[in-house]
């Protein structure tokens, strides 16, 4: 029976929804900017966030990230470190020096496991660091942690503030993105050595 519960948790409930009950300690309808040169990361992280009621903004490079951050003033930014052109560190420094964006909480993400990146992330003023690949529980643990610390506060938006423009993916493409594209490590089933 435990195996069946794990499968249900990985694939969602009978209605095709990954999570039917909202997470506690997580604000709703936060505007979140996802910055990564990988379309896959933008799509998967964007879908995770959208499923929990957040408005997702996306940027494929540092220059667009700065423009979106200044005009839309998101409540939270997930920022990749290694990108072509302007690196995530350069974007982080620019955001922290701009009066409009300096207080936005930023979670840096990277597939590089070197501890030096974590050191520089803290030195340049990021709020948190997340390694790729990541799963839903890690993403939402970061959001809950920032909320508990008082760093993530959803800004009330006026009627004049419009919703973001056209989505990066069509509804059909969005639905095709698997919820478990990046499973949490504890959810992976590894058979004991010598057994198949």
Ordered by start, the domain boundaries in the chain are 34-153
From residue 39, give the alpha-carbon distance in Å to each of 30, 67, 104, 128, 156.
21, 19, 23, 22, 29
- Enter the tokens of residue 7: 């499968």
Query: Phi-psi region for residue 183, left (φ > 0), alpha (ψ -120 to 50) or beta?
Result: beta
* CB-count burial class (<10 Å; 0-12, 13-18, 19+) for 78: buried
- Enter the tokens of residue 181: 């594209």
Question: What is the distance between the alpha carbons of residues 101 and 81, in angstroms, rounded to a whole number?
Answer: 18
Instruction: Please report the DSSP string for 39-64 in residue order.
Output: HHHHHHHHHHHHHTT-EEEEESSHHH
Assign a CATH topology to domain 34-153: Rossmann fold (3.40.50)
Least confident range from 68-82, 139-153, 159-173: namely: 159-173
Q: To the nearest whole number, what is the mean pLDDT of the chain?
A: 78
**CA-based nearest residue to 33, from 118, 89, 105:** 105
Higher pLDDT, 171 or 56: 56
Q: What is the DSSP letter of 17?
A: -
155 confidence band (pLDDT: 50, 70, 90): confident
Residues 10-39, mean pLDDT to the nearest whole number: 65
Condensed to tens digits (0 to 9), the pLDDT of residues 30-84 reads 999 999 999 999 999 999 999 999 999 999 999 999 999 999 999 999 999 989 9
pTM of the entire predicted model = 0.73
Residues 113-141, mean pLDDT to the nearest whole number: 81
The answer to whether the peptide bond before residue 133 is cis (omega within 30 degrees of 0) is yes
What is the model's pLDDT at position 194? 52
């Amino acid at each position: 029976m435990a195996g069946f519960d794990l499968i249900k948790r990985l694939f969602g409930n009978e209605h095709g929804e990954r999570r039917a009950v909202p997470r506690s300690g997580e604000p709703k309808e936060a505007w979140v900017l996802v910055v990564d040169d990988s379309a896959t990361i933008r799509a998967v992280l964007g879908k995770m966030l959208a499923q929990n009621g957040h408005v997702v903004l996306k940027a494929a490079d540092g220059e667009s990230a700065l423009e979106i951050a200044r005009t839309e003033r998101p409540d939270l930014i997930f920022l990749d470190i290694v990108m072509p052109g302007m690196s995530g560190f350069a974007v982080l420094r620019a955001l922290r020096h701009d009066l409009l964006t300096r207080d936005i909480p930023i979670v840096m993400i990277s597939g590089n496991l070197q501890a030096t990146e974590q050191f520089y992330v803290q030195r340049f003023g990021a709020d948190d660091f997340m390694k790729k690949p990541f799963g839903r529980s890690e993403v939402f643990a970061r959001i809950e942690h920032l909320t508990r610390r008082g760093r993530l506060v959803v800004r009330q938006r006026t009627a004049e503030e419009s919703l973001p423009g056209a989505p990066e993916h069509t509804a059909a493409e969005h639905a095709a993105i698997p919820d478990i594209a990046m499973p949490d490590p504890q959810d992976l089933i590894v058979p004991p050595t010598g057994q198949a």
